[in-house]
A and B are shown apart, each in its own frame.
Chain A
Amino acid sequence: MTSKSTIIEPWLEEELENEDCALDGNYIYFLNADTIASSSSYGSVNVFKICYNENGEIGMKKGTVWKNIHSFENGESNLCTSITSYDQDIVSVGEDGRINLLTLSSESIVRTYDNADSCSIKCALFLKHNEILTSNLRGQLKIWDLQSRCEEPSSTFMLSGDIVAPTCLTSHPTHRHLVVAGDEEGSITIWDLRQNTYPVNMLRAHEESVMEIQFHPDYPDHLFSSSSSGEIWHWSVKPKLSADYVFDNLAGKDKNMVWFASDAFKNKLEVFTLMDKLHKPINTFDVNQARVLCGCDNEAIYLISGINLDKY
């Protein structure tokens, strides 16, 4: 679940569970403060609107439904694996290797790349209004120019030499060309897509598969990651460096931004664990202000507050 709303309240999950449609929790994504898109195992994308009735109680209203936009040749149901959005535009990808471009203002599909990938696509991420990044089961990452007529990606690169599938993709809130991926082996890889498609940095982070990575939306010096071994970590730039970073930024040298620093990168970061290790995968989390909300395979949702985001 990715949220851009200002306050996270636990009731939301509960409301979602009460919905009778196919919300089997594959992927839920906040398009804006009161609109949610969700993907289902049946290859559909549903939009919900949060609304308030006269008594101020919160409810949900069903919006557009794009049914079965992901399907296999033999008609088997197919998982829509990820959704990403930019303003009104939504992109959905699935195990059928298809990319669908949707928009909130229309019930029809704007554009479909039928054979975008011969593997299943695992993650998708909007880089710009006209550019998306997808990653597949084989660890290939592809950048697609949505305006180009060509049905081929504008560039393709690998996560690593072996078949290691990225499990999550995210980009820096202010520097969108800075892309971070977590993978099955627990590593975190960072690219600067302006320069080339070789990773700038790679961290051996978690013991097991990384499940989700996210920058803090307001304090991008802070990165959060969760893993299938039940860890949730808070990465922050060491105080001194943070000051440098601010200074450099003032001088207009964002190249010195710590995420790009290749030499002794690890030494510039501090890692905190936010919670005692849970014993099951932490599938997803979201960060907002000083709070982190995470969902774990032990069927529980945890709200961690009081996260230290001090600017030194």
Chain B
Amino acid sequence: METDINTILIPSKLCNRAGVSLAWKPCNDLGIFAYERKHSGAQDKPSQYYPTSEASVFHVRQDVILFRPILRKLINESNGTFLNLQELLARKSTNTQEEMLNFSRQYRSIIRACLESLQEDIARSKSEADKDELQNYITIFYSIECIWHLCEILFIDSTPGNVVLPHLLEWVRFHFPKYERNAAEMLCENQEELEMKPEYWPTIIGLMMQGRVRIARGLLKQHSAADTRAFLLVDQCLKAMPQFDVYSGLSASEFHLQWQHWVMDIQSKIDAKSFASHKNLELLMKIVVKDELAWSEIKKHFETWYELLPAWLFYAEPSVKSYELGTFAKYCIRQMGLENKLKHLDTVLLAAMEYDLLEVIKEIQKMSENGWFATHLANLLYHSGQLTVLEKDVDNFSAKALQEFLIVDYGTMLMGHKSLWQVGLSYLDHCSESGIHIIELLLPRVPVDNEYKAQKIIREAVKRELHHIAQFVCKVQGMKCVKRGRLGSALTWALKSQDSTLVSLLANRFLKDYAANGKLRNTDLLFNLGPTMLSSDRLIFLGKYYEFHKLYQDRQFQEAGKLLIKLLESKIIPKYFWYILLLETIPLLESEDIIFSSNDTYMIINFMEENQFDERIKDKLDVLRLATARNLSRAVLYESELN
């Protein structure tokens, strides 16, 4: 564990006196408030701090640098690459090294793009604080790129025969580009007497260190004394330098022999003082033959040990194998006198060169970019099989668990952001079982600002077959609408949530509203309820009652009458509503055409007599009795005529 503990001071006197407690808000937030601990046996009385005007809750949140707008591009773009990778893996079981390398490069190019935009921003920013902040990010992402590149060389792009030097040289050129840049500038300028420039010789030496022999020769030719014997001799020597190439068909020992010959040849020329006329040329040649004095002299050109390493290998061990790197790395660290001064980046690089992958992953988690790096790198390494190999050597280690743990952490963090929650989800999707449970917990806690977002959340839930979450969100929306007085919307959400209790509750509201005001609201909604009506008895009643109203309005009294009888017979009439139904029969009983048969009328009479002592129909009882009696007589006469 890291020992540097961050102390946050809560600026509240009350907290200071009483003590604090805290509660998690989902994801990144902590709510901190004043709290006094009491024993269960303590007397129940107001606390000694009561009354107080100072009852604040303080929100403390982890500072996530990835949430800065400039870095969000990195998140979103790498998310695309991540998902493409997972899709590819899902499609086929075997994945070629080529593809993995391709993805690794995509990630790196995203980091590079991010670095570039950071650099542009730093040029534009005006305040010093901004500049410092951006510079800090550049340092972080520069290190990430540097480590990733090395890991790519060592773990993903394994060349035949473990020949690693050409890649290392490339790596070092990538990260210390100044020599190539200087050389290009000088060669383009096409000036006389290039050697007068102060950076002329350092550039040539630098190029030689990075294995750019041809460019170095090009620069030497621009020297005003390039036609002298010493220069020509140097050019000749460099031209004859044997190059190690796995594909040349030359075995390592054969190459070694060639190399020895070449070195001996140059050594003899140095001994013959062939280059003595030019100090710099002699130095150059001495470097080539690994002259210790010369090397200690040029050490000052190197910024770090890992810049020295490929240079030294280029001349000392051109056929170095990747698994030997660790030893040479330590040698270079000693040479630079850095044994006790290793910085974080150095340790990670050294661990990588020693093939200690676990150490690498452990270290990169300490970098302050909120786990972006560790998550993506571990995922890539896992899928290229590098992490699984470790399971044999390390007890209780599961590669899958490790990379999933990182993804869970990263995904959970993103879920806490208002516009990155969908990105977070797509990470959590890729960590087998735990992922879906975390989604189950976090998805309903994503803040819902409006229906648009609610629909997005519901879609994400349905996509993952978390139907109960979708229903939960619908219910919450429904209750929100109730509070806003939007019963229509509330009912729609309730229907979506398939919660029959909520639907019944709302249907009740509609009916009670009608009972109180005599006006049916939200009729546009009741029109065409369709099969959704079946989700609650109360809603069926409401829907049917509305249908009755509509028939009545359209003067289809026969149909309206039939429907009314059906409703009276049904067992779904709310207690507070039956008298309204009963009253609705009066105009139909009194209509010119006979609408209710004698049986129907008996039913109405029964219903009426059962409830005759009810206060609500007391006044209308006489009217009802009269109407039913009249209708009964009409109906009986009519029916007997028919028979």
Interface positions of A (Cβ within 8 A of B): 26, 41, 72-74, 76, 79, 81, 95-97, 117-120, 122, 137-138, 140, 142, 153, 156, 158, 161-163, 165, 184, 208-209, 228, 278-281, 297-300
Report the separation of the CA atoms of residues A165 and B528 in the bound assembly, to the nearest whole angstrom. Answer: 14
Over the window 476-496 of chain B, the binary record of Cβ atoms lying under 8 Å from chain A Cβ atoms (1 yes, 0 no) is 000000011111110111011
| Chain B stretch 513-556: residues in CB contact (< 8 A) with chain A | 521-522, 524-525, 527-528, 530-532
Q: In this complex, what residue of B is CB-closest to A298? A: B76
User: Across the interface, do A117 and B488 meet the contact criterion of CB distance under 8 Å?
Assistant: yes
Among B72, B451, B487, B531, the residue within 8 A (CB) of A137 is B451
Shortest beta-carbon distance from B496 to chain A in Å: 6
Shortest beta-carbon distance from B417 to chain A in Å: 11
User: Across the interface, do A158 and B486 meet the contact criterion of CB distance under 8 Å?
Assistant: no
Shortest beta-carbon distance from B66 to chain A in Å: 12
User: Across the interface, do B73 and A299 meet the contact criterion of CB distance under 8 Å?
Assistant: yes
- Name which of B174-182, B452-460, B624-632 contacts chain A: B452-460
Among A95, A208, A279, the residue within 8 A (CB) of B79 is A279
Report the separation of the CA atoms of residues A161 and B530 in the bound assembly, to the nearest whole angstrom. Answer: 7
Among A120, A158, A278, the residue within 8 A (CB) of B528 is A158
User: Across the interface, do B451 and A73 meet the contact criterion of CB distance under 8 Å?
Assistant: no
Report the separation of the CA atoms of residues A16 and B351 in the bound assembly, to the nearest whole angstrom. Answer: 48
Q: A161-B531, A300-B76 are in contact. List 8 more A-B contacts (CB 8 A).
A: A117-B488, A120-B451, A137-B451, A156-B527, A161-B530, A279-B80, A298-B79, A299-B72
Which A residues are CB-close (under 8 A) to B524? Answer: 117-118, 140, 142, 153, 156
Asked whether any CB of chain A lies closer than 8 Å to the CB of B347, the reply is no
Asked whether any CB of chain A lies closer than 8 Å to the CB of B463, the reply is yes
Which B residues are CB-close (under 8 A) to A161? Answer: 530-531
User: Across the interface, do A279 and B459 meet the contact criterion of CB distance under 8 Å?
Assistant: no
Q: List 23 A-B contacts (CB under 8 A).
A: A72-B484, A72-B485, A73-B486, A74-B485, A96-B486, A118-B486, A118-B525, A119-B486, A119-B525, A137-B493, A138-B492, A138-B525, A142-B524, A156-B527, A161-B530, A162-B532, A163-B492, A184-B455, A184-B459, A208-B463, A298-B423, A299-B73, A299-B419
Which A residues are CB-close (under 8 A) to B522? Answer: 118
Asked whether any CB of chain A lies closer than 8 Å to the CB of B450, the reply is yes
Shortest beta-carbon distance from A290 to chain B in Å: 25
User: Across the interface, do B484 and A73 meet the contact criterion of CB distance under 8 Å?
Assistant: yes
Asked whether any CB of chain A lies closer than 8 Å to the CB of B135, the reply is no
Indicate the size class of the contact surface on chain B.
Answer: 35 or more
Over the window 108-127 of chain B, the binary record of Cβ atoms lying under 8 Å from chain A Cβ atoms (1 yes, 0 no) is 00000000000000000000
Which B residues are CB-close (under 8 A) to A300? Answer: 73, 76
Give 9 nearest A-B pairs by CB, closest first: A118-B488, A118-B522, A73-B485, A72-B484, A79-B450, A298-B76, A118-B525, A279-B83, A119-B489
Asked whether any CB of chain A lies closer than 8 Å to the CB of B106, the reply is no
| Chain B stretch 374-418: residues in CB contact (< 8 A) with chain A | none
User: Across the interface, do A118 and B487 meet the contact criterion of CB distance under 8 Å?
Assistant: yes
Report the separation of the CA atoms of residues A158 and B522 in the bound assembly, to the nearest whole angstrom. Answer: 16
Give the number of residue pairs across the A-B interface with Cβ within 8 Å: 103
Which A residues are CB-close (under 8 A) to B496? Answer: 163
User: Across the interface, do B456 and A95 meet the contact criterion of CB distance under 8 Å?
Assistant: no
Asked whether any CB of chain A lies closer than 8 Å to the CB of B422, the reply is yes
Shortest beta-carbon distance from A73 to chain B in Å: 4
B contact face: mostly helix, strand, loop, or mixed: helix
Shortest beta-carbon distance from B352 to chain A in Å: 30
Q: In this complex, what residue of B is CB-closest to A96? A: B486
A contact face: mostly helix, strand, loop, or mixed: loop
Q: In this complex, what residue of A is CB-closest to B526? A: A118
Report the separation of the CA atoms of residues A158 and B530 in the bound assembly, to the nearest whole angstrom. Answer: 11
Known interface pairs A184-B455, A228-B456. Does A120 touch B76 (Cβ–Cβ under 8 Å)?
A: no
Asked whether any CB of chain A lies closer than 8 Å to the CB of B297, the reply is no
Known interface pairs A137-B451, A209-B459, A300-B76. Does A280 touch B488 (Cβ–Cβ under 8 Å)?
A: no
Report the separation of the CA atoms of residues A153 and B80 in the bound assembly, to the nearest whole angstrom. Answer: 45
Report the separation of the CA atoms of residues A279 and B427 in the bound assembly, to the nearest whole angstrom. Answer: 11
Known interface pairs A118-B487, A120-B489, A298-B79. Does A280 touch B459 (Cβ–Cβ under 8 Å)?
A: no
Which B residues are CB-close (under 8 A) to A280? Answer: 422-423
Asked whether any CB of chain A lies closer than 8 Å to the CB of B368, the reply is no
User: Across the interface, do B489 and A118 meet the contact criterion of CB distance under 8 Å?
Assistant: yes
Report the separation of the CA atoms of residues A155 and B218 in the bound assembly, to the nearest whole angstrom. Answer: 83
Which B residues are CB-close (under 8 A) to A153? Answer: 524
Asked whether any CB of chain A lies closer than 8 Å to the CB of B449, the reply is yes
Q: In this complex, what residue of B is CB-closest to A161? A: B530
Report the separation of the CA atoms of residues A76 and B530 in the bound assembly, to the nearest whole angstrom. Answer: 31
User: Across the interface, do B486 and A163 meet the contact criterion of CB distance under 8 Å?
Assistant: no
Q: Which of A119, A156, A158, A161 has the most CB of B within 10 A?
A: A119
User: Across the interface, do B528 and A95 meet the contact criterion of CB distance under 8 Å?
Assistant: no
Report the separation of the CA atoms of residues A8 and B298 in the bound assembly, to the nearest whole angstrom. Answer: 57
Report the separation of the CA atoms of residues A158 and B492 in the bound assembly, to the nearest whole angstrom. Answer: 14
Q: In this complex, what residue of A is CB-closest to B487? A: A118
User: Across the interface, do B484 and A74 meet the contact criterion of CB distance under 8 Å?
Assistant: yes
Which A residues are CB-close (under 8 A) to B597? Answer: none
User: Across the interface, do B484 and A137 meet the contact criterion of CB distance under 8 Å?
Assistant: no
Report the separation of the CA atoms of residues A126 and B607 in the bound assembly, to the nearest whole angstrom. Answer: 53
Report the separation of the CA atoms of residues A281 and B530 in the bound assembly, to the nearest whole angstrom. Answer: 31
Asked whether any CB of chain A lies closer than 8 Å to the CB of B426, the reply is yes
Over the window 460-471 of chain B, the binary record of Cβ atoms lying under 8 Å from chain A Cβ atoms (1 yes, 0 no) is 000100000000
Which A residues are CB-close (under 8 A) to B532? Answer: 162-163
Which B residues are CB-close (under 8 A) to A278? Answer: 80
Q: In this complex, what residue of B is CB-closest to A165? A: B455
Shortest beta-carbon distance from B56 to chain A in Å: 24
Report the separation of the CA atoms of residues A122 and B83 in the bound assembly, to the nearest whole angstrom. Answer: 31
User: Across the interface, do B455 and A79 meet the contact criterion of CB distance under 8 Å?
Assistant: no
User: Across the interface, do B422 and A297 meet the contact criterion of CB distance under 8 Å?
Assistant: yes
Among A41, A81, A122, A208, the residue within 8 A (CB) of B459 is A208
User: Across the interface, do A279 and B426 meet the contact criterion of CB distance under 8 Å?
Assistant: yes
Report the separation of the CA atoms of residues A279 and B85 in the bound assembly, to the nearest whole angstrom. Answer: 12
Which B residues are CB-close (under 8 A) to A281? Answer: 422, 456
Which A residues are CB-close (under 8 A) to B485? Answer: 72-74
Report the separation of the CA atoms of residues A96 and B426 in the bound assembly, to the nearest whole angstrom. Answer: 33
Shortest beta-carbon distance from A301 to chain B in Å: 12
Shortest beta-carbon distance from B68 to chain A in Å: 12
Which A residues are CB-close (under 8 A) to B80? Answer: 278-279, 298
User: Across the interface, do A41 and B449 meet the contact criterion of CB distance under 8 Å?
Assistant: yes
Among A97, A165, A297, the residue within 8 A (CB) of B486 is A97
Report the separation of the CA atoms of residues A159 and B483 in the bound assembly, to the nearest whole angstrom. Answer: 28
Which A residues are CB-close (under 8 A) to B459? Answer: 184, 208-209, 228
Report the separation of the CA atoms of residues A281 and B463 in the bound assembly, to the nearest whole angstrom. Answer: 13
Q: In this complex, what residue of B is CB-closest to A208? A: B459
Shortest beta-carbon distance from A299 to chain B in Å: 5
Report the separation of the CA atoms of residues A73 and B495 in the bound assembly, to the nearest whole angstrom. Answer: 22
Over the window 433-451 of chain B, the binary record of Cβ atoms lying under 8 Å from chain A Cβ atoms (1 yes, 0 no) is 0000000000000000111
Which B residues are CB-close (under 8 A) to A163? Answer: 492, 495-496, 532
Which A residues are CB-close (under 8 A) to B491? Answer: 118
Which B residues are CB-close (under 8 A) to A117? Answer: 488, 524
User: Across the interface, do A95 and B450 meet the contact criterion of CB distance under 8 Å?
Assistant: yes
Known interface pairs A119-B525, A163-B532. Does A72 touch B455 (Cβ–Cβ under 8 Å)?
A: no
